């Protein structure tokens, strides 16, 4: 085994170490600080709270790894969940309605990618505009009649049911995690995503269709945002005009906390999952400790900065070791 191989193995072994340390510290602190933290009910609620952000963040991680950004995912989440509920409310078969919601999210994502690659509009502006478009469409769907009373027992089971004592959304998030992990770490698609984010020009010269990769990652981001929206509508059994608001910020935060670079070329599916759980831990812990609302935002921001800083520090040490 040569030196380069040993260094690569060591680097991979230490990937995500920093964010894992933060997760353990928060877990231990809350376990000691609140007698209600380590209850089955609270841990279940904690995992449930993290699932929706986690699903969106997986897609955002792919986009960020190419050097792009997707600010539309929160609105896409709301719109696709709303369309699925609206179709079911008007008598559409549950599976057809779910398929329509997933397809809509995928098409919106692909459209974002095409605007960015074909019209040369910056990812920030393109997806920022789509944030407003998707939110406006959801408002049109709900302006005359709220989207409610559509959840059949089968549909509600997707987000409210249990299998083997574990909530269904957790199983769904685990399945998506495994698929995304395989795509990012074991396929040419994942390698191309990192190559495009690391050096787009070099990737293009090596024969990679950079535009195609970008369109596909935005389509994947839209698909995963749609899946989170459908699952959230199943959980709430209703769709409000503001459903999904700020999810884009939470998803980006989860990805960055987990070690994904905002400049492209680096991502971690495992890190994203841990990042989403950390965000849920912070929110859950502040609730249990009854922290004043005025301090919650400050504390959350500080913990995010510390988590990102520790992750960057351990990653740098791993590279130079």
Say what the pLDDT of residue 37 is: 87
* pLDDT at res. 1: 37
Average of per-residue pLDDT across 221-235: 96
pLDDT value of residue 16: 61
Asked which of 151-160, 222-231, 238-247, 299-308 is least confident by mean pLDDT, the reply is: 299-308
State percent of the chain over pLDDT 70: 92
Spatial distance between the Cα atoms of 36 and 284, rounded to a whole number of angstroms: 11
Domains for the chain: give ranges and CATH numbers.
16-320 (1.10.3470)
pLDDT at 11 over 60: no
Q: From the CB of residue 321, how many other CB atoms can be counted at a distance below 10 Å?
A: 9
Q: Write out the chain in H/E/C secondary structure.
A: CCHHHHHHHHHHHHCCHHHHHHHHHHHHHHHHHCCCCCCHHHHHHHHHHHHHHHHHHHHHHHHHHCCCCCCCHHHHHHHHHHHHHHHHHCCCCHHHHHHHHHHHHHHHHHHHHHHHHHCCCCHHHHHHHHHHHHHHHHHHHHCCCCEECCCCHHHHHHHHCEECCEEHHHHHHHHHHHHHHHHHHHCHHHHHHHHHHHCHHHHHHCCCCHHHHHHHHHHHHHHHHHHHHHHHHHHHCEECCCCCCCHHHHHHHHHHHCCCCCCCCCCCHHHHHHHHHHHHHHHHHHHHCCCCHHHHHHHHHHHHHHHHHHHHHHHHHHHHC
Using CA atoms, how far apart are residues 48 and 55, in angstroms rounded to an integer? Answer: 11
How does residue 132 score in pLDDT terms, banded at 50, 70 and 90? very high
Report pLDDT digits (tens) over 48-62. 889 999 999 999 999
Q: How does the average pLDDT of the chain come out, rounded?
A: 88
**pLDDT digits 0-9 by tens, 149-179:** 888 999 999 999 999 988 999 999 999 999 9
**pLDDT score of 181:** 94
């Amino acid at each position: 085994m040569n030196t380069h191989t040993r260094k690569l193995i060591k680097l991979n072994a230490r990937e995500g170490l920093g964010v894992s340390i933060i997760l353990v510290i928060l877990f231990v602190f809350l376990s000691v600080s609140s007698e209600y933290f380590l209850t089955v009910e609270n841990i279940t609620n904690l995992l449930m709270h993290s699932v929706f952000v986690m699903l969106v963040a997986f897609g955002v991680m792919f986009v960020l790894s190419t050097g792009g950004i997707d600010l539309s995912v929160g609105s896409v989440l709301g719109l696709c969940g709303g369309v699925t509920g609206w179709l079911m409310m008007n008598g559409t078969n549950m599976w057809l309605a779910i398929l329509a919601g997933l397809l809509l999210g995928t098409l919106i994502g692909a459209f974002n990618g095409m605007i960015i690659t074909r019209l040369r509009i910056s990812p920030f502006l393109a997806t920022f505009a789509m944030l407003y478009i998707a939110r406006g469409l959801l408002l049109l769907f709900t302006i005359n009649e709220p989207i409610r009373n559509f959840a059949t027992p089968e549909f509600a089971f997707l987000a409210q049911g249990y299998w083997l004592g574990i909530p269904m959304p957790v199983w769904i998030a685990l399945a998506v995690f495994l698929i995304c992990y395989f795509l990012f770490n074991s396929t040419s698609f994942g390698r191309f995503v990192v190559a495009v984010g690391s050096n787009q020009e070099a990737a293009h010269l090596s024969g990679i269709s950079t535009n195609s990769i970008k369109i596909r990652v935005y389509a994947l981001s839209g698909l995963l945002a749609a899946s989170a929206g459908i699952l959230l509508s199943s959980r709430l059994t209703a769709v409000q005009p503001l459903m999904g608001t700020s999810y884009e910020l939470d998803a980006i935060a989860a990805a960055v906390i987990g070690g994904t670079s905002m400049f492209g070329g680096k991502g971690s599916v495992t890190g994203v999952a841990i990042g989403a759980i950390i965000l849920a831990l912070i929110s859950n812990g502040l609730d249990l400790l009854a922290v004043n609302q005025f301090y919650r935002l400050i504390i959350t921001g500080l913990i995010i900065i510390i988590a990102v800083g520790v992750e960057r520090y351990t990653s740098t040490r791993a590279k130079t070791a």
